[in-house]
């Protein structure tokens, strides 16, 4: 006799369960969740992020007093899409073959050439302003850059200023390179203002095929950047991104460190499908070290990429 008798298992039913359904298994599986699309209203409009085709470039002016070559190195290391060459007193910035070698070595394209329009570059390439623009155009064509950035003339360049608008149109008709004329600002000393540019520092008052908007210049002019953006409309071809506080000095702060609507401008560009270039043109002269300068330029790039996107509502199929 078995000292430990076992209770006999009940016989398995062969017929239907008396309640009309199957018995629950001993170890029931977790209930299956519906597929995410099973309960979705397919006609619902949902937000998606729209990122424009615009490329983010570093101006070689952003590393001053470091060299043009240093700008290429930093731009490549930080992941910029390209470089804008400021043609100035650095001999490398004036040398097309040297620039081509830098571009090839660092595998980063030159997207724009900034013509030598500054006070300190009055003798770079020529003393004739039209020759400067011709050489800037030739450099852009040879380097594969799509844009030449140019300032309006100084008021004392009378003949150049008189012919500037028609001359820029004529040069633009001769090439596929964009001549993007940049907004400037009145010069100030204490409470006095001097109009240093002609026909006007506000380039939207004249008829140009393409514009460059510079947000630091807009800050110095105490102009509404968003209204200026609206006036430029589809003629906007190029952006110089920097911040400012409305000082009489052209500050070129890292975006986000001043009072300008840098984020709003970028988001509006994204919403409009802007396909030009956004160029970081900031002042890093106060950086105490190369590492601090590079950190500022990395911050500027991150800010730009973050805001150069727009939430757009589209129907999901």
* Range of lowest pLDDT (41-45, 64-68, 245-249, 251-255): 41-45
Average pLDDT over every residue of 192-214: 94
Residue 242 has pLDDT above 90, yes or no: yes
* Whether the model pTM is above 0.85: no
* Burial track 154-184 (b if 16+ CB lie within 10 A, e otherwise): beeeeebbeebbebbeebbeeeebbbbbbbb
Query: What pLDDT score was predicted for residue 316?
Result: 58
Per domain, the residue ranges of the chain are 47-308
Residue 280 has pLDDT above 50, yes or no: yes
Q: Write the DSSP assignment of 119-168 as a string of letters.
A: GGGTTSS-SSHHHHHHHHHHHHHHHT--EEEEPPPBTT-HHHHHHHHHHH
Query: What pLDDT score was predicted for residue 44?
Result: 59
Residue 39 has pLDDT above 70, yes or no: no
More confident residue, 194 or 281: 281
pLDDT tens, position by position, 93-108: 999 999 999 999 999 9
When pLDDT is cut at 50, 70 and 90, the band that residue 315 belongs to is low
When pLDDT is cut at 50, 70 and 90, the band that residue 194 belongs to is confident
More confident residue, 16 or 128: 128
Please state, rounded to an integer, the average pLDDT across all residues of the chain: 87
CATH architecture of 47-308: Alpha-Beta Barrel (3.20)
Average pLDDT over every residue of 252-273: 96
Residue 16 has pLDDT above 80, yes or no: no
Average pLDDT over every residue of 141-165: 97
CA-to-CA distance for 42 and 65, rounded, in angstroms?
Answer: 57
Query: What pLDDT score was predicted for residue 11?
Result: 46
């Amino acid at each position: 006799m078995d000292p430990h008798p076992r209770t006999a298992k009940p016989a398995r039913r062969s017929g239907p369960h008396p309640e009309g359904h199957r018995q629950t298994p001993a170890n029931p599986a977790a209930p299956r969740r519906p597929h995410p699309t099973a309960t979705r209203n397919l006609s619902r409009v949902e937000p998606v992020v729209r990122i424009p085709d615009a490329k983010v470039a570093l101006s070689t002016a952003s590393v001053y007093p470091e060299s043009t070559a240093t700008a290429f190195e930093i731009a490549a290391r930080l992941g910029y899409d390209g470089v804008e060459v400021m043609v100035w007193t650095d001999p490398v910035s004036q040398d097309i073959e040297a620039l081509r070698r830098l571009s090839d070595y660092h595998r980063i394209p030159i997207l724009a050439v900034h013509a030598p329009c500054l006070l300190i570059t009055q003798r770079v390439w020529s003393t004739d302003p039209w020759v400067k623009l011709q050489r800037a155009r030739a450099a852009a064509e040879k380097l594969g850059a799509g844009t030449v950035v140019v300032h309006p003339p100084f008021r004392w360049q009378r003949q150049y200023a008189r012919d500037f608008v028609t001359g820029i149109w004529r040069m633009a008709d001769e090439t596929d390179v964009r001549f993007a004329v940049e907004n400037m600002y009145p010069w100030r000393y204490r409470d006095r203002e001097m109009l240093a540019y002609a026909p006007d520092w506000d380039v939207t008052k004249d008829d140009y095929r393409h514009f460059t908007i510079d947000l630091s210049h807009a800050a110095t002019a105490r102009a509404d950047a968003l209204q200026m953006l609206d006036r430029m409309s589809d003629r906007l071809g190029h952006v110089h991104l920097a911040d400012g506080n409305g000082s009489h000095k052209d500050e070129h702060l890292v975006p986000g460190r001043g009072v300008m609507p840098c984020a709003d401008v970028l988001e509006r560009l994204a919403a409009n499908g802007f396909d030009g270039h956004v160029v970081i043109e900031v002042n890093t002269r106060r950086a105490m070290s190369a590492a601090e300068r590079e950190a500022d330029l990395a911050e500027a790039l991150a800010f730009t990429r973050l805001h150069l996107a727009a939430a757009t509502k589209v129907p999901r199929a």
